[in-house]
Each structure stands twice: as structure tokens, then as C-alpha cells.
Amino acid sequence: MDLKDVKAVVTGGASGLGEACVRMLAGAGAKAAIFDMAVERGEKLAAELGKNVIFVNTDVTNDEGVQSSVARAVEAFGTINGAINCAGVGAASKVFSKKGPYPLKAFNWVVQINLIGTFNVIRLAVEQMVKNPPNAEGERGVIVNTASAAAFDGQIGQAAYSASKAGVVGMTLPIARECADYGIRVATIAPGLFNTPMLAQLPQEIRDALGQSVPFPKRLGNPVEYAMLARHIIENPMINGEVIRLDGALRMAAK
């Protein structure tokens, strides 16, 4: 798909990996709708990037809310033919600790946003994309999801996060197989340790140590590098049904 023809929704688009993707799209002349709950950041980013970018206050777990947000993007752009799912949260806790068992509410919160929220956006984006006329390749749309290296080698305390991201990995192929009939591609990026707001909450010395744990390059990933891969997935029609690790050969230890 030609990037300048892309009209995409980007969840979690007000910061981190999502923001990098919004900037990448806008810089290439594409259109992007920022779906996020960080109103101030989202509105500021949209204003900075100009008329091809809009902000829509969106809770990805809300059925009617995402329907309304997709409708708003379609109203602004005429249609959508791209969706990049970057909205995500983490809540580290052991299954059992001195505080007792892992709070079920916290586990559910992570899964609701990371997994169910991703699926919610996928299903409603596909509903719109099937209406698009196909391009020369027969393509009507492309969806890029975000999993994590933790889907494969999650650490102690990451049960909720790893489960939610493993769910994103697990649904990639079946959704891609179904959407092949519609001319819509589906792929997932599984980043390792990236310099995002989630990691920014940690002390600098811990972030430095995490970066040194990456085989090469020995540093945290830059969100721009995630956006570079998202761009390639959008532009390369043979990438479909695949989960791509983006982690500098990192394989995380148990803790």
C-alpha cells in the first residue's frame, strides 16, 4: 500500500510507539486519527502535525465508543484503510505475594485493554475496510498490532501482561486468514525493551541496566524504530499473518 494513500487510526497514538507511528504517517503525507484517552497530549500532537491528523478521545475497550471514533475518522478522511494498535498497559504483580493473591481486577484490566481492546478496534476497522475499493493488489486495508517479547518469554510478575500479549500473537494468524478474503492484511510487531512512557516510570539506573541486557544494540529501542517497521508492513504486501520480533535478539530471563 502506498503510504501517501493511507488513512489510519492509531490507538495509543498520543505517546510512545503510537505517537511515533502518527508522526511517521503525517510525515509521509498520510492521514491519521489519534485514538487515545490522553486528551491534552492528543490534541496538542494533532495541532502540531496539521490538518491530516485528528484526535478522537477513545477508550478502546468501549464498544459504542470505538464505533463512534471510527465513524469520526471516516467522516474526516472519507474512509479508513489502516489501523495501528499501540494502546497498552502493564501491571506487574506476582500470582501470590506478601500482599496476597494477584488482584483479579488488575489482571482483568490489563487483558481488557491489551487484548480485548485490540480486538475491538480490529473488528470495527475491518467492518469499514471491507467497503473500500481494492487497489491494484486487491488490497482494501492493513492492520498492525502490538504484542511484546513478553508474549514468548515473560518474566515473573508479568502473568497478565504476557497473557494479554500472547493473545494478540495467537489471534494474528486466524484473523489474517479470514481477512485475506476481504483484501485486508494483518500483522503484529512484538517489541522488546523500548523507551516508552511505560518504561519511563522506572529509575534511570534501571532503564540503563535494561538497555545493557539487549544483545545488540545494547540500548532500549527507540519508538521511531517501531514506526519504521510499521511503515514497512504497510508498504510490503507480502507481510501478512506474521508476528515480527523487534528486540535486538533479547530473550528475557525469568526475572
Residues marked active site are found at 161
The DSSP secondary-structure symbol of 151 reads: H
The span from the first CA to the last CA of the chain, in angstroms, equals 41
The three-point CA angle 9-13-15 to 5° equals 175
For residue 141, the SS3 value is: strand
Side-chain-facing half-sphere of 76: CA atoms under 13 Å: 21
Instruction: Report the C-alpha gap between 131 and 141 in whole angstroms.
Output: 10
Q: Residue 198: which of 19, 5, 7 has the closest Cα?
A: 19
For residue 214, the SS3 value is: coil
Q: For residues 12 and 42, is the Cβ–Cβ distance under 8 A? A: no
Backbone φ and ψ of 242, nearest 5° = -115, 150
CA 160 to mean position of chain CA atoms: 17
